[in-house]
Amino acid sequence: MYLARPPGFLGFRPAPRADSLWPKSGGYMVGRIIETDACVQEGAAWLGSHDPRFARALQLVGPLPLRRKADGFAALFDAIIGQQVSTLSAAATWARLQAAGLTEEDAVRAAPPDVLRACGLSRQKIRYAHALAAARIDYPALRTLPDAQVIATLTAVPGIGPWTAEIYAMFSLGRADVFAHGDLAMQEAARRLFDLPERPREKSMRVLAESWSPWRSVAARILWAYYQNSTAQEGIR
């Protein structure tokens, strides 16, 4: 993962509560933005002070990664490519798409199915790729929308479910209080860290994560790192 700051990216501002909001252009309201390693460290310190189990996890995993990525069409297309395949397989497919010049919206929209298939996309992912390209999402506008509206806008596109939309909000838009409740690695990490009798399902994770606001995105980073540490497996690409 890497830090990217597209023009107009929202800056980092203090917010003591999860519902702390400030106005941006167009009358929209957005919450806290994670933009630097210092932002992640602040959120980790807050979570560690509020729950000793997070403090214990942080001692095990060390400094958390920023995991910032550029926003835009390519970020979502890459997420679709990575659905239900291994990291290596997704990386190989993405490399072929890059070599073919097929990672931008206009190029993907114009690409015939057989060309995308030659790059390694399944029939279903070709349909999703064309749907995303045809959606013509206003990506700069997403930077100024509230979290819930970002998720709703993205999940209206075929092939983009809540998990993909939440990951985009966390890592491409830097939202500090978004959480991927349906992520299996985080659910398993929560079971282990909080000594739960079974892996919590999405509904239970939503309840559990409420107390981690306004830093639920940092809590996600802790849980992914804890999952990797405790299982020696990779949580996300």
CATH number at residue 222: 1.10.1670.40
Name the amino acid, one letter, at 42: E
Same domain, 89 and 136: yes
Same domain, 206 and 182: yes
Give the ranges where the chain is alpha helix by DSSP (H): 37-50, 52-61, 73-81, 87-99, 105-110, 113-118, 123-135, 139-142, 147-155, 162-171, 184-193, 202-209, 216-231
Residue 33 β-bridge partners: 175
Same domain, 94 and 128: yes
Residue 23: which H helix or E strand, with range?
strand 22-23
Same domain, 97 and 150: yes
- The segments of the chain whose pLDDT lies below 70 read 1-29, 232-237
pLDDT tens-digit map of 13-25: 333 333 333 334 3
Task: Find the CATH number of the domain harbouring 78.
Answer: 1.10.340.30
The answer to whether residue 161 is domain-embedded is yes
The answer to whether residue 14 is domain-embedded is no
> Which residue range is the domain that position 104 belongs to?
73-171
26 DSSP assignment = G
- Residue 102: the pLDDT is 97
CA–CA distance from 29 to each of 47, 91, 135, 157 (Å)?
24, 35, 24, 23
pLDDT tens-digit map of 212-237: 999 999 999 999 999 999 886 544 45
Same domain, 106 and 165: yes
Domain boundary among 122, 155, 171: 171
The answer to whether residue 46 is domain-embedded is yes
pTM of the model: 0.83
Same domain, 117 and 148: yes
Buried b vs exposed e over 4-28: b needs ≥16 C-beta within 10 Å?
A: eeeeebbebeebeebeeeeeeeeee
Same domain, 164 and 184: no
Same domain, 54 and 93: no
- Residue 24: the pLDDT is 44
